[in-house]
């Protein structure tokens, strides 16, 4: 069975029920109209938020129409179709339309610049690029190079003359599609690594891996047909999509929210009766900050049905979760760990029953195995730090067109994650840091995540990143880049006093007050910070502060 079979099953079982809702709080509406198989609203300058929805029947029909449009243009099994779209109600039907043909779906990061788009399209040997209006300029600047033997398809109004119009292509296509036989071993998708250390790698997954992500997610969070999932992160990323796979497996409703303000999130949970919300650390911090300052009041929303808040994609400060449970004591909390190379979240899983272990990323997820190893590949003694390794049905097939990187990362079936971790006496795994982010100062190993977790408990700190900077005497020193809570002021002396509870060698030797940059999936962009504050950049930052 593949996830394409699940979609077709949902259309049979729940055809007239809502599958997807899209909410855009930046656009308002006054009246509703029906257009091209789904309800939408005509945007105006006032009234309610822009909202669209489609049923499982319409979801299936739209996927079939796009599959037929691709088939008419010679796209089939083994071809590759890149998707460069902002979150929208079209995203997932397009994705499934690609999979139905037997082609490989290739989601692209919406922050890619033109050269990165071209690089990824060429690396993955893409045959079709589907893109939205936000990317016209970026795609046009490389269109002459990438359109050779490639089809460019535009999704939106005002199709540029160098692309084909998605709506014109699909409107006359049949809503039925006879797809080729698919097996779990067939190639299904290429996802790209985050690219925070340079150009990203192309990660090839099979249908088996995607199907296992569905089963893992539903096993961990016990989705039922009555649940409603709020999806905020970008759908190009494995995290958002694989968490939504739990809704797919149960045929339950999901809400795609375009907006991350506390009011927007709480309003969507309230109006759509959401029961499960996956947040990134910055969004949870913003909600807590708004509650602390009285900018939002929980009594203004209907939230009693909200049962689960889970966070992933980056280390989660313990203090954040304790504050969250003060405001939402009835919430189940969970965190999941994973990589794009392991089909996203779930390879390691805390579990809602283990809130007492907040700070850990958990134990091996459903169907997964874990090891923590020395540089020589031997298992470490419990409590010692080593590299976390994963094994299971969700491990990637390979880095596409990069056999050397594949051989370094997958050894004897084990995925070497590059993340440093330790396990306690109960077997719960604690993420220590990325292997490349470890700071060696005077011969001692410092793990920035541990220092960040400590500093995040300071009431004036909104966000923090600890990086290593060159030092003539010690080799490297730890520098803390601190983003202060809005309306607060903080000094180096306050931070130094707070850090007296840390062992002396772990205390940051530099403090820089500045914004902490994060990518769309919530990860701190530490290479950007090291580049900005190394050498002359550090002097400039100190002068600014």
**CATH code: domain of residue 487:** 3.30.300.30
Q: At 46, is the pLDDT very low, low, confident or very high (cuts 50, 70, 90)?
A: very low
- Residue 31 has a pLDDT of 42
Q: Which residues pair with 338 in a beta bridge?
A: 345
Cα separation, 73 vs 178, whole angstroms: 16
Q: At 392, is the pLDDT very low, low, confident or very high (cuts 50, 70, 90)?
A: very high
How large is the average pLDDT for residues 458-472?
88
Flag whether 397 is in a domain.
Answer: no
Q: How many domains does the chain have?
A: 2
Cα separation, 44 vs 30, whole angstroms: 6
CATH of the domain at 98: 3.40.50.12780
Domain end marker among 200, 230, 260? 230
How large is the average pLDDT for residues 259-279?
95
For residues 440 and 386, the model is more confident at: 386
How large is the average pLDDT for residues 245-256?
97
Flag whether 347 is in a domain.
Answer: no
Flag whether 171 is in a domain.
Answer: yes
Flag whether 442 is in a domain.
Answer: yes
Flag whether 248 is in a domain.
Answer: no
Least confident of 240-249, 293-302, 311-320, 448-457: 311-320
Domain end marker among 230, 253, 273? 230
| 3-state per-residue secondary structure call for 93-108 | HHHHHHHHCCCEEEEC
Is the predicted pLDDT of residue 419 greater than 90, yes or no? Answer: no
Cα separation, 119 vs 186, whole angstroms: 24
Boundaries of domain holding 460: 438-544
In tens, the pLDDT along 448-460 reads 888 888 898 899 9
* CA-to-CA separations, 472 to 448, 469, 476, 543, in angstroms, rounded: 20, 10, 8, 21
- Comparing CA positions, the residue from 186, 188, 141, 147 lying closest to residue 164 is 147
- Comparing CA positions, the residue from 121, 104, 102, 114 lying closest to residue 138 is 114
Flag whether 283 is in a domain.
Answer: no
Domain end marker among 203, 230, 257? 230
- Residue 276 has a pLDDT of 97
Q: At 544, is the pLDDT very low, low, confident or very high (cuts 50, 70, 90)?
A: very low
Flag whether 318 is in a domain.
Answer: no
E strand map for 258-385 = 276-279, 308-312, 332-339, 344-349, 363-364, 369-373
| Share above pLDDT 70 across residues of the chain, in percent, rounded to a whole number | 90
The whole-model pTM stands at 0.82
Q: At 45, is the pLDDT very low, low, confident or very high (cuts 50, 70, 90)?
A: very low
Average pLDDT over all residues of the chain: 88
Least confident of 33-47, 329-343, 506-520: 33-47
Q: How many CB atoms lie within 10 A of CB 171?
A: 12
| 3-state per-residue secondary structure call for 35-82 | ECCEEEEEEECCCEEEEEEEEHHHHHHHHHHHHHHHHHCCCCCCCEEE
Flag whether 284 is in a domain.
Answer: no
For 261-277, give one letter per residue: b (16+ CB within 10 A) or e: ebebbbbbbbbbbbbbb
How large is the average pLDDT for residues 395-413?
95
């Amino acid at each position: 069975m593949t996830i394409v079979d699940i979609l077709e099953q949902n259309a049979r079982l729940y055809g007239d029920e809502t599958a997807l809702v899209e909410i855009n709080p930046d656009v308002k509406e006054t009246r509703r109209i029906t257009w091209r198989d789904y309800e939408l609203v005509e945007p105006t300058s006032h009234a309610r938020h822009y909202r669209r929805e489609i049923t499982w029947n319409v979801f299936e029909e739209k996927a079939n129409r796009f599959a037929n449009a691709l088939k008419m243009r010679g796209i089939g099994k083994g071809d590759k179709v890149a998707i460069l779209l902002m979150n929208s109600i079209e995203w997932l039907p397009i994705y499934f339309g690609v999979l139905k043909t037997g082609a490989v779906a290739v989601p692209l990061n919406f922050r890619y610049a033109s050269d990165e788009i071209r690089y990824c399209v060429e690396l993955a040997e893409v045959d079709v690029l589907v893109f939205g209006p936000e990317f016209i300029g970026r795609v046009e600047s490389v269109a002459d190079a990438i359109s050779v033997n490639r089809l460019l398809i535009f999704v939106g109004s005002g199709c540029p003359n160098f692309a084909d119009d998605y709506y014109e292509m699909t409107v006359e296509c049949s809503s039925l599609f006879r797809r080729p036989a698919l097996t779990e071993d067939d190639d299904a998708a290429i996802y790209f690594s985050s690219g925070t250390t340079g150009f990203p790698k192309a990660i090839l997954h099979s249908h088996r891996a995607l199907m296992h992500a569905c089963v893992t997610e539903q096993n961990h969070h016990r989705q039922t047909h009555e649940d409603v999932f709020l999806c905020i992160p970008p759908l190009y990323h494995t995290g958002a999509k694989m968490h939504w796979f739990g809704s797919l497996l149960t045929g339950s409703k999901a809400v795609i929210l375009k907006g991350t303000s506390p009011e927007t999130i709480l309003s969507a949970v309230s109006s759509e009766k959401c029961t499960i919300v996956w947040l990134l650390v910055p969004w949870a911090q913003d909600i807590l900050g708004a509650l602390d300052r009285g900018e939002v009041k929980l009594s203004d929303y209907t939230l009693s049905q909200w049962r689960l808040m889970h966070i992933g994609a980056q280390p989660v400060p313990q203090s954040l979760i304790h504050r969250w449970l003060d405001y939402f004591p009835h919430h189940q909390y969970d965190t999941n760990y994973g990589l794009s190379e392991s089909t996203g979240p779930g390879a390691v899983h805390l579990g809602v029953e283990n809130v007492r272990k907040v700070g850990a990323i958990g134990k091996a997820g459903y169907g997964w195995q874990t090891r923590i190893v020395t540089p020589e590949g031997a298992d470490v003694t419990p409590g010692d730090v080593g590299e976390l390794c994963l094994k299971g049905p969700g491990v990637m097939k390979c880095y596409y067109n990069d056999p050397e990187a594949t051989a370094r990362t997958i050894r004897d079936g084990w995925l070497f994650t590059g993340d440093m971790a330790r396990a306690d006496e109960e077997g719960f795994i604690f993420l220590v840091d990325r292997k490349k982010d470890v700071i060696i100062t005077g011969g001692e190993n410092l793990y920035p995540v541990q220092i960040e977790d400590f500093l995040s408990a300071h009431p004036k700190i909104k966000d923090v990143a600890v990086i290593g900077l060159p030092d003539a005497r010690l080799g490297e020193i730890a520098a803390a880049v601190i983003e202060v809570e809005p309306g607060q002021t903080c000094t180096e002396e306050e931070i130094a006093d707070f850090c007296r509870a840390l062992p002396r060698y772990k205390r940051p030797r530099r403090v820089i007050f500045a914004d902490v940059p994060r990518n769309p999936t919530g990860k701190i962009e530490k290479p950007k910070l090291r580049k900005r504050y190394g050498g002359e950049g550090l002097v400039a930052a100190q002068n600014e502060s």
